[in-house]
């Protein structure tokens, strides 16, 4: 987007533009899961500041890595230590 494409006053004309912003590229650490320990309590989902943790078909909770910024709050709060943060790969 060039400066000429900016709408007057930086107005955003279509709703929901934040959904296109891939905040997952900000991540330096990535959540990994050992679902054998998971009790599906949803504490990770409740605490996620990005609101990007969703249940999969089996009912386990996973972060959407398109948005996950790797803050690690889910790993810290999980009472069963399901989640381990590992270094993000290039």
**Rule CB under 8 A: which residues touch another protein?**
1-13, 15, 17, 21
- CB nearer to another protein: give 6 or 39: 6
Q: How far is the CB of 18 from another protein (least distance, A)?
A: 8
The smaller minimum CB distance to another protein, of residues 7 and 90, is found at: 7
Tell me the closest approach of the beta carbon of residue 19 to another protein, in angstroms.
13
Q: How far apart are CA 26 and CA 41, in angstroms?
A: 27
- Residue placing its CB nearer to another protein in the complex, 8 or 57: 8
Closest to another protein by CB, 15 or 49? 15
Closest approach of another protein to the CB of residue 40, in Å: 34
């Amino acid at each position: 987007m060039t400066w000429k494409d900016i709408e007057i006053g930086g107005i955003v004309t279509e709703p929901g533009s934040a959904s296109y912003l891939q905040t997952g590229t900000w991540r330096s650490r990535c959540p990994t899961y050992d679902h054998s320990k998971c009790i599906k309590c949803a504490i990770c989902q409740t605490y996620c500041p990005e609101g990007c943790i969703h249940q999969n078909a089996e009912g386990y909770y996973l972060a959407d890595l398109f948005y996950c910024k790797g803050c690690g709050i889910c790993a810290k709060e999980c009472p069963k230590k399901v989640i381990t943060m590992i270094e993000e790969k290039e």
